[in-house]
Amino acid sequence: MTPQQVISLAKEKGAVQFDVRFSDIPGLWHHISYPISQLDEGTFEDGTGIDGSSIRAWAAINESDMLLLPDPTTAFMDPFTEKPTLVMIGEVVDPITRQHYERDPRWIARKAELHLKNSGLADTCFFGAEAEFFVFDNIRFDQTYQHGFYFIDAEEGRWNSSREFDNLGYRPRVKEGYFPCPPTDHHMDLRTEMVEVMEACGLVVECHHHEVATAGQCEIDQKFSTLLKTADNMMLYKYIVRNTAARNGKTVTFMPKPIFGDNGSGMHCHQSLWNDGKPLFAGDGYAGLSQMAMWYIGGLLKHARALSAIIAPTTNSYKRLVPGYEAPVNLAYSRRNRSAAVRIPMYSASPKAKRVEFRPPDPSANPYLAFAAMMMAGLDGVLNKIDPGEPLDKDIYDLSPEELKSVPSMPASLDEALDCLEEDHEFLLKGDVFSSEIIEAFISYKRKAEAEAVRLRPHPYEFMLYYDI
């Protein structure tokens, strides 16, 4: 929509507030609201003021004044507010220079798309991201000087099968929650409500289903779109999922591994390059792929260890990325094989359906940074003709230790992932998509606020192991 169309939409829907949203570096939406009387065509050029000093890993207090420029193409009516509220996603601009703020994740995603076009190799990168999540009924957690704990409960959790009262059974077994019908699938109606809200907000949904884990693990799949649009859609997707659950007395988490001993939540990312409306990944090579697609895979695999800091950016991510469990930590590619880090889906022979699926990412990632980084890795593979090696069509989880030695793997911790990013990030700097400054800020924040903070605190299981030592 144009600014004029957004203003007309606000009048048509009787909006009394307008809301501008933006993402911090870890990937949470923030917002600021105004009476609708403050919205006019000048708002889209002049922006609205915010204090950037209180946003994680952003500006110092002496450079904290910033502007939010609403993007009219992102406008929608908030489905959860009591009063009609028009929402737009904004981009962050320096009020003096009028330059985009280099730590604004959305600007980095936009620069990635511009870099792709300037490369002459393609004009569009499509992403289809599948973010999984858990629906719980109760969550308690705390961490202070002399105690630290978490407690999860879910009516659907298999552990409730022994409950004496108010127990009707029908709960997915651990690791057996894939595709059961109700009443074992407790959340079909809730997901349907989520889908209806998504469609009302302009998202295109392909399907939804229960996932592998017990205790309410779900997936709702959106239709693919361009890199920036898919990142915008993922932010809206999370907002709708969380708020629809809350409206029904439930709570949702996108933590990669909230439950011990059962599957974690991933965000498998399907990717393809197109030019002038034509797919570039279809060919007569392995699994029907083109040479360009093979080089793109080569780039993803070469830089996967560095990418891990951005696509699996939490300490909790590495409780999912564990050898021998459900997440693909071994850096190989294969058709159909879900134990490979890169899978080539074989559902359709159509050239338009040819894509590669990168499976290590999880939904704790900031989608703007994650999608931009993956595309930059793949593009580096194309530009430098990186050979991905031979495919690995075996079940990687069944390989012998000798065979596994020749297969590189993802980092085992956030600290290791950040080390890899420090050592290998030149591919992200091309076209000024990422800056050295944003990478340094990202690494510094993640080390101190997350990796070090977790490392300094006793873990509950350490008391099980060591209290009587």
Active site residues: 51, 130, 132, 211, 219, 268, 338, 357, 359
Q: Is 280 helix (H, G, I), strand (E, B) or coil?
A: coil
For residue 452, what are the β-bridge partners? none
Judge contact between 381 and 299, C-beta under 8 A: yes
Q: Using alpha carbons only, what angle is made at residue 396 by residues 353 and 329, rounded to the nearest 5 degrees?
A: 80
Cα(55)–Cα(125) distance, integer angstroms:
30
Judge contact between 126 and 272, C-beta under 8 A: yes
Q: Using alpha carbons only, what angle is made at residue 57 by residues 55 and 61, rounded to the nearest 5 degrees?
A: 65
Q: Is 467 helix (H, G, I), strand (E, B) or coil?
A: coil
How close are the terminal C-alpha atoms of the chain, in Å?
66
Side chain identity at 341, as an amino acid letter?
A
Angle formed by the axes of helices 367-383 and 227-247, nearest 10°: 150
Which segments of 5-72 are extended strands (E)?
17-23, 29-35, 48-51, 65-70
State both tokens at 285: 């090579």
The helix or strand, by DSSP H or E, that contains position 28, with its residue range, turns out to be none
Q: Using alpha carbons only, what angle is made at residue 221 by residues 219 and 226, rounded to the nearest 5 degrees?
A: 140
Judge contact between 332 and 222, C-beta under 8 A: no
Instruction: Report phi then psi at 179, rounded to 5.
Output: 70, 25
